Amino acid sequence: MNKKLPALVFIMVLVVVLLVPTVGSAEPFIGEGDLHKEAEVETEVLFKWTVYRNSTFTSVVRVEVDGDLEEWVTDISPDHFVLDDSGPYQIVTVSMEVPRHPSKNSYEGRVLFYYRPINSTEYDMISRDISVRIRGVAPAPESNTLIGGYPNPLPEPLDNPYGAFILNMAFWVALGWVFYFLVSPIIHGLTKKTKTDVDEIVIRMLRRPILGLIILYGFIDSFMKLNLTMGIRTTMYQIYMVLVLVMGGIIIYRIFDTVLHQIAIERGGMNTSFAKVLKPMLEKSLAVIITVAALLMVLRVLGIEATALLAGAGVIGLVVAFAAQDTLGNFFSGMHILLDRPFVIGDIILLENGDYCKVEEIGMRSTKLYNIREHEGIVLPNNSLANQMIINVTKPDISIKVRVEVGVAYGSDVQKVKRILREVAEEHPNVIDDEEHPIAVRFRNFGDSSLDFGLRVWIDDISKQWSIMSDLRERIDQRFREENIEIPFPQRTLWLHEMEKG
């Protein structure tokens, strides 16, 4: 017996050594995952783990969720699986849908991984703690308290949350009227010291909206102190946020509109191109931007995913931009003309084709011109107008330099001719003669049939240049006749040569 004892002990030790790792090695290895999430109401929350086989033995794994999160609609995929040679790992996804009216702001729970060897019936368990914090849900304040956490001092029957609601609302209404009657006039008095009237107008315009926002905030703050369910509090909080976003958008638009109106007045009044064209266009653009931004934020507050809407709007925008590229080109060219201001309504411009045109109207798609010479109305697309060289002949003023050419017969007194030309120019009432705009008479050339002179003068109105030049030519012709100065016809000398007969 003594000889068999060591062999028996050895066999028992060997069995224990072999069995212990076999059982312990069935525990799977669970990879790291994102254990803490933030989400909004009515959205889906996903948790993922990769579960690896940690032995040469086949294991059966079952996944469950418990804790606060157990009450949510939960989908576990897969909720049970086998780890073996053909599938040494498995990705486990736990998806949960946040309810529309959660009972609190944050939830905690556990994901339980039960495992056992394939040839066993007893499960062991590994757990992972998870949590979800809900955005956009109003916190539940301490009920029956006043501003600052003070207890409700009212006697019965108002020593309850409804009495605290009345006191809190009274406080916020009083605070709003204090701002309206005291603080706002003080700020209004300080703005009078500034050079511009914009800040004074904005402060006066914001008095009522700020009063409304103070009372609205006071109402929702007081309302949250009532003994209400989280669903009702969440709904009221969402309504409050929507109202704040709408009022904020209206306030921003009104401020911008006030600033534009003041700029229009400073730029010449409501009859300028800025006030008639650019101001309405900027107002409409801002209205669209504010509406879209407010709508996206409202959808976010309500827990609605707007990514698909944005993607669809982007695709539609590309299609519209491609189909209306000419219209958009004219639109942005009109923006360029209105902002850069190369010309304004009433200016006279010289186009590339030589036409002198008066600017009648500048629109967002086209510009209306009046051809001074031909007495015609012209409508040019802004894109065409912006892409050609334009000379604004009314800048820096409406005066223009013109030239009158004249020729006299050979043998005429040059000094007498120059004196007559200068006198004719000086006598005309629309000709400018000063240090900056001198009258110039030049003996230009010895022509084929005449002595050529040039009279260069400045006239006071570009739109009258053709009639003034006609007046100058008529007066020059009259003076030359009075002074017996001949304006010659073109002359040619012909030499005839008679050829001998035979």
Q: Is the dihedral of CA 410, 412, 416, 421 positive or negative?
A: negative
What are 214-225's pLDDT values in tens digits?
888 888 777 777
Question: What average pLDDT does the chain have?
Answer: 77
- Contact call for residues 272 and 264 (beta carbons, < 8 A): yes
The per-residue pLDDT for range 447-478, each reduced to its tens digit, is: 888 899 999 999 888 778 888 889 899 999 99
Residue 11: the pLDDT is: 59
Mode of pairing for the β-strands spanning 36-40 and 124-135: parallel
* Fold of the domain spanning 22-134: Immunoglobulin-like (2.60.40)
Is residue 444 classed as helix, strand or coil in its secondary structure?
Answer: strand
* Reported confidence tier of residue 347, pLDDT bands at 50, 70, 90: confident
Helix %, strand %, coil % of the chain (to 5): 45, 25, 30
Domain edges within the chain: 22-134, 161-322, 326-392, 400-482
Assess contact for 366 and 382: CB atoms under 8 A. Answer: yes
Compute the distance between CA of residue 78 and CA of residue 90 in angstroms, rounded to an integer.
Answer: 9
The percentage of residues in the chain with a pLDDT greater than 90, rounded to a whole number, is 5
pLDDT on residue 80 = 86
Q: Mean pLDDT, to the nearest integer, of 404-421?
A: 90
CATH class of 326-392: mainly beta
Nearest to 49 by CA among 115, 114, 118, 113: 113
In angstroms, rounded to a whole number, what is the distance separating the alpha carbons of residues 185 and 258?
19
Most confident range, picked from 53-62, 150-159, 309-318, 490-499: 53-62
Whether 190 has a pLDDT exceeding 70, the answer reads no
Residue-level pLDDT at 16? 45
Q: Which architecture, in CATH terms, is 400-482?
A: 2-Layer Sandwich (3.30)
Instruction: Give the residue from 67, 57, 128 showing the smallest Cα distance to 92.
Output: 128
Q: Which residue, chain included where needed, has tokens 């009432």?
A: 429
Residue-wise pLDDT tens digits, 219-274: 877 777 776 666 677 777 778 888 888 888 888 888 888 777 777 776 666 666 66
The residue whose two tokens read 């110039």 is: 440
Mean local confidence (pLDDT), 408-428:
90
Sign of CA dihedral 446, 447, 451, 455: negative
What tokens appear for 286 in the block? 């801002």
Of the candidates 92, 94, 50, which has an alpha carbon nearest to the alpha carbon of residue 70? 94
